[in-house]
Amino acid sequence: MMLNFVLLALLATISQCAAHDWPRWRGPDLNGISMETGWTVGWPKEGPRQIWRASVGIGFSSVVVAQGRVFTLGNAGERDTLFCLDAETGQEIWKFSYACPLDAKYYEGGPGSTPTVDGNRVFTLSKRGHLFCFDSQSGQVVWQKNLMQELGVKKPEWGFAGSPLVEGNWVILNVGGAGTAVDKFSGKTVWTSDASASGYATPVPFNAGGGRCVAIFSGKSLVGVRIADGKELWHQPWVTKWDINAPDPIWIRDRLFVSSFDRGGALLRLTSGKPTVAWENKSMANHFNSCVSIDGYLYGIHGNTDQPDRDLRCVDLATGKVMWTYTGLGLGSLMAADGKLIILSDRGELLVAEAIPDRFTALARAQVLGGKCWTVPVLANGRIYCRNAQGTLVCLDVRP
């Protein structure tokens, strides 16, 4: 009887874990929010137990977790490497390297995009436009192409950083002035836009006019594109210093929230088919990483590298009003799960706080890394993954 109970509990745990993979940038729903529950914030004084630590090369690629494996990108010796690690032990299962410059300009350099897992395939995009499709189990290259050479597109100042977005049979990329789509099975280009410089954000899908669309940040505007044929549906100017449009737009029903470090944020309504500005102010200016939107409020890191007034803050989505601020995290990043914010400061302190508009309330905190930490932490299957710019990746146990 006891054996049956143990087996049932084990099967339930396995089933629950399988449901909480994080297979792509910003998670299954592309909003930075996990549906995972039951993970603990009852950490000991020294913080959650470190299960394993790995070195994955210089870069700012986040991790994706699928089918018991962890994938991320890094650079060493002017070569990018895609790592496939065992999620439980951190042991290397396979890796693949190719020549790509570090491109360190005012920062450490290295890959900025995050791999995308789709079934038994992994897609990656380098700063120089190297696009790969791998078999996720073996690490074999299914197909590859160099988008800069093939399409003649201009590289943005700090290289391509948007992650591949898989929609149906196509991979949508923030390459060119209004995106590019390739067939995920063959790599053949389906459609592309002009050759002007893209922004750094990942394409964000939404439904409009009875069809599937994507919002793509170019260097100077936000563009609505129909996925079926790449047709530009609308064009919203969004000019920023040095054309740094890096945080992803956030789709909330019929609205899009956009933010950039020197311009601030704006809420755009799409009820008429084309964007109209509901409000725009400087209450939320994201530099690298997007906010999360929970119950009508935005939570995100406000500020840039040139200003001392950086903080975590909560903003009313309907009005743009600041509800509260909390300093000391620098240019950190965050995701959310189970009504809580999971925050990594730019100096490697991991915090969990309540996602409520009344006040900032920390539930747990611990120093888990050193060095510069601009990469978003990831919760998947009871583990939190954090990395720094030099490529130290830690896996922390928050299972109850």
Q: What is the pLDDT of residue 273?
A: 79
Q: CA 2, CA 238: separation in Å to the nearest integer?
A: 62
220: amino acid identity, one letter = K
Nearest by Cα to 260 from 229, 275, 238: 238
| More reliable by pLDDT, 274 or 133 | 133
Query: What is residue 13's predicted lDDT score, i.e. its pLDDT?
Result: 41
User: 98-123 pLDDT, tens per residue?
Assistant: 999 999 999 999 999 999 999 999 99
Please tell me the distance from the alpha carbon of residue 12 to that of residue 3, in angstroms, as a whole number. 14
pLDDT band at 303 (very low <50, low <70, confident <90, very high): confident
HSE, side-chain direction, 13 A CA sphere, residue 237: 1
pTM of the model: 0.94
**250-275 per-position pLDDT tens digit:** 999 899 999 998 899 999 999 877 89
Average pLDDT, the chain: 93
Per-position b or e across 333-351, b if 16+ CB within 10 A of its CB: bbbbbbebbbbbbbbbbbb
Bridge pairing between strands 392-397 and 297-302: unpaired
DSSP codes, 105-129: SSS--S--S--EEETTEEEEE-TT-
pLDDT at 19: 59
The whole-number average pLDDT for the span 110-137 is 98
pLDDT at 306: 62
- The torsion defined by the Cα of 291, 292, 294 and 300, in degrees rounded to 10, comes to -40
CA angle (56, 340, 30) in 5-degree steps: 60
User: Average pLDDT, stretch 43-48?
Assistant: 93
What sign for the dihedral angle of Cα 28, 30, 32, 35? negative
Q: Is the pLDDT of residue 12 over 50?
A: no
Residue-wise pLDDT tens digits, 50-63: 999 999 999 999 99
Give the model confidence (pLDDT) of 178-215 as tens digits.
Answer: 999 999 999 999 999 999 999 999 999 999 888 999 99
Burial profile 32-45: b = 16 or more Cβ within 10 angstroms, e = fewer: bbbebeebebebee
Weakest-pLDDT range from 2-16, 145-159, 348-362: 2-16
The pLDDT-based confidence of 307 (bands split at 50, 70, 90) is low
Q: Which residue has the higher pLDDT, 351 or 15?
A: 351
pLDDT tens digits, 227-247 = 999 999 999 999 998 899 999
Q: What are 152-168's pLDDT values in tens digits?
A: 999 999 999 999 999 99
DSSP letter for each residue of 141-154: EEEEEEHHHHH-PP
- The alpha carbon dihedral of 13, 15, 20, 24 has a sign of positive
pLDDT of residue 11: 41
Count of CB atoms situated within 10 Å of the CB of 304: 18
Residues in CB range of 114: below 8 A, 6 or more apart: 24, 25, 61, 62, 63, 64, 72, 73, 163
pLDDT given for residue 305 in this prediction: 59
Is 27 in contact with 33 (CB distance < 8 Å)? yes
Bigger pLDDT: 389 or 16?
389
